[in-house]
Amino acid sequence: MVDRETGTLWSQVTGRAIDGEHRGAQLQKLEAIETTWKQWREAHPNTRLLKKSEKVRSSHYQTYFDDPEKMGLFRAQWLAERMPGKTLVYGASIGPHAVAVTDGALDDSLVLASLGETPVVMSRARDGGVRAFVARVDGNEIGIQLDVETDEVTDASGSTWDLSSGLCISGPRSGSRLESVAVTPVYWFAWSGFYPNTQVIDR
């Protein structure tokens, strides 16, 4: 990416300025998800949509998405031995620490990861997107887990959490909210190219 004001070059994966006046600056990544219109609309009934041309009826890039051999334009470098480059992963990072989680690891389960010293919980939310939160309240790790019988997410205090919103919905911590961590749905070749030291959680 490039900004028009200074011509600084920015990495779309890391959000960091790689060359130019702002070199070294870091954009804040926001919680944003990728899902289908149907799932998004149901979970967010008041949503608005970027005005769209009626002519747009498919993706230009379907052949690129479908071709396992096409990775970027040229000379991409990534951790090819770990998994195929076109594997879709969900990436999260805090400072230099990064984790990539596969779809399989998120099937009906929570993923717990440590990004440096920070405990992070990742899961698939009601709207179909993948979200991550710092699993701490007031500086204390909360010991979060999924009860597979009831499908409820609880912590060591007996509080119940909604990991679509990060809100505690009942129990001693009711009303608390977990801090969100941005999740990037991304091909493995791109994530591992920019975060060669990334952890991987798969099944």
Partner 1 sequence: MKKLIACAVFFGLMAPFPSGAELPEPEVVATIGGEDVYQLLPVGAIPAIDNPKFVSGKKADRQMRAEEPVLGVVIGGEARAYSLWQLDAHEIVNDEIDGSAIAATW
| Residue 194 exposure: Cα atoms within 13 Å on the Cβ side | 22
Window 36-75: residues binding partner 1 (CB under 8 A): 36-38, 40-41, 44-54, 56-61, 63-65, 70, 72-74
SS3 200: strand
Does 126 participate in binding partner 1 (rule CB under 8 A)? no
| Residue 187 makes contact with partner 1 by CB under 8 A | yes
Q: Between 35 and 109, whose beta carbon lies closer to partner 1?
A: 35
CB closer to partner 1 out of 60 and 148: 60
Site string for partner 1, 127-156 (x = CB under 8 A): x-x---------------------------
31 three-state secondary structure = coil
Sheet harboring 111-115: ordered strands across?
111-115, 118-124, 130-134, 180-181
Check: CB of residue 181 under 8 Å from CB of residue 120: yes
3-state secondary structure of 24: coil
- Window contacting partner 1 (CB under 8 A); options: 26-34, 109-117, 153-161, 171-179: 26-34
CA nearest neighbour of 25 among 55, 3, 56, 49: 3
Provide the CB-side half-sphere exposure for 96 (13 A, CA). 2
Rg (CA), the chain: 19
Query: Looking at 173, 189, 192, 195, which residue binds partner 1 (CB under 8 A)?
Result: 189
Is 147 or 179 the residue whose CB approaches partner 1 more closely? 179
Question: Which residues contact partner 1 by CB under 8 A?
Answer: 1-2, 4, 7, 9-10, 12-13, 15, 18-19, 27-38, 40-41, 44-54, 56-61, 63-65, 70, 72-74, 76, 127, 129, 184-187, 189-190, 193
